[in-house]
Amino acid sequence: FSRALATITDANVSVIITAGILTILGSGPVKGFAISLGVGVVVSMFTAITVSHFLLRLLIDCNFTNHPFWFGAN
């Protein structure tokens, strides 16, 4: 999970910077799109980091990894 965090953060920060530039330089509809894009990326980043980490922790703690059935093995 820690290796993926850098990639997730990097990609989302670049989109947020682009949304900020569009907000500053764009006209009415473009500003609306940029704000929607920025909010969507922030919410997506929050869920990608917190919810995914929580669900992976939950799966690991429930010992699903001890049963080969869940991985398609007999």
Q: pLDDT tens per residue, the chain (74 residues)?
A: 667 788 888 999 999 999 999 999 999 999 999 999 999 999 999 988 888 888 888 888 887 777 777 777 77
The phi-psi region of residue 27 (left if phi > 0; otherwise alpha if psi is between -120 and 50; otherwise beta) is: beta
Q: Angle at Cα 30 formed by Cα 50 and Cα 24, nearest 5°? A: 80
CA distances from 17 to 12, 46, 73 (A): 9, 17, 45
For 47, the domain range is: 2-71
Per the structure, the count of domains in the chain is: 1
